[in-house]
Amino acid sequence: MNRINLALFSAAFTDWVRETWPERPELIAIDGKTSRRSHDRAAGRAPLHLVSAFATTGRLVLGQEAVPDKASETTAIPALVERLAEKDGPKGALVTIDAVATHPAIAATIRAAGADYLLALKANQPTLRAEVESLFAEAAPDGFETVTEHDKGHGRLEQRSVSVAREVDWLEGPRRFPGEARLPDVACLVRVVSRVETKERCRGETRYYVSSAPLTAARGRSGARALGDREQPALGARRGVCRGSVPPAQGARGAQHGGGAPLRDQPGARRA
């Protein structure tokens, strides 16, 4: 195994995937994971960290790229996208990545590959995230498209509301401070408000995304779900946790954090 040319093997694997599954992927989720027990403390070898491109509808790994030692995923993601771009692999697809990739260079690489991006906004982009958060909080409800879905299973109820704002001209103005990051071809902004309720507690969370595709609320929901299901809630995500029923006094603040009225009837509650 040590004699295998890793670059050659990676290229051969990608070609094999294309031959096995020639259909173009509609949705690609890129995510990084560290392999368990792949480190060697005695030899001073760090654990193996891989960035993978996963076709969510086909349930197939399209390619992987190892993150170099003492480097971050931002160095491996462009290389992976460029390799997938050979023979127009991701052309026309929506590529979703966590906030670590919300960077102009990575967004430009995805656009150069003929694909669109859906990137998460978290604490690593505090100014842009705050502005997007204010946009959804202050705009009239009819100013953006919204779709809501409910899921029930495994002893829990989930409500997910996805809103899409397409008024993004204000992002194209002059830079307000030196070095302000500008993502290319921004077409819409997405907000996902989710609430999950079990017998013991309820949990709310709000996430924000930016995309180069003019998404509908339904497609924004699919893209955000593909990314959200493969990541853990991270710093900067709006979260609120309540145990039991939600007191009426918390209604206004709970709405900001995905709270509000419980999704299921509470013990002892009277029906109107």
Residue 115 to residue 109: CA distance in whole angstroms = 9
The helix (run of H) or strand (run of E) holding residue 161 is: strand 156-165
Q: 118: which strand partners?
A: 96, 211
pLDDT at 3: 66
Structure tokens at 143: 């100013």
Q: What is the pLDDT of residues 224-264, one digit of tens each?
A: 887 765 443 333 334 444 444 443 333 333 444 444 555 55
CA angle 249, 250, 252 (to 5 degrees): 100
Q: What is the DSSP string of 38-70?
A: --BTTTTBPPPEEEEEEETTTTEEEEEEEPPTT
- The domain ranges of the chain are 6-170+184-256
- The secondary structure of the chain in percent helix, strand, coil, rounded to multiples of 5, reads 30, 30, 40
Structure tokens at 174: 């002059």
Q: Is 243 exposed, middle or buried (0-12, 13-18, 19+ CB in 10 A)?
A: exposed
Which among 12, 8, 31 has a CA at the least distance from the CA of 230?
Answer: 31
Residue 39's CB is within 10 A of a number of other CB atoms, namely 14
Residue 74 to residue 77: CA distance in whole angstroms = 5
Place of tokens 């590529």: 95
pLDDT profile of the chain (272 residues), mean per 10: 69 74 78 73 71 85 80 87 84 89 92 95 88 91 89 88 92 73 92 91 92 94 75 39 41 41 53 44
pLDDT at 193: 94
pTM of the model: 0.74
Place of tokens 């509301």: 161
Q: What is the pLDDT of residues 53-83, one digit of tens each?
A: 888 877 888 888 888 776 788 888 999 999 8
pLDDT at 271: 46
Which among 171, 100, 107, 104 has a CA at the least distance from the CA of 135?
Answer: 171
Residue 17 to residue 95: CA distance in whole angstroms = 18
Q: Hey, what CATH topology would domain 6-170+184-256 get? A: Transposase Inhibitor Protein From Tn5; Chain A, domain 1 (3.90.350)
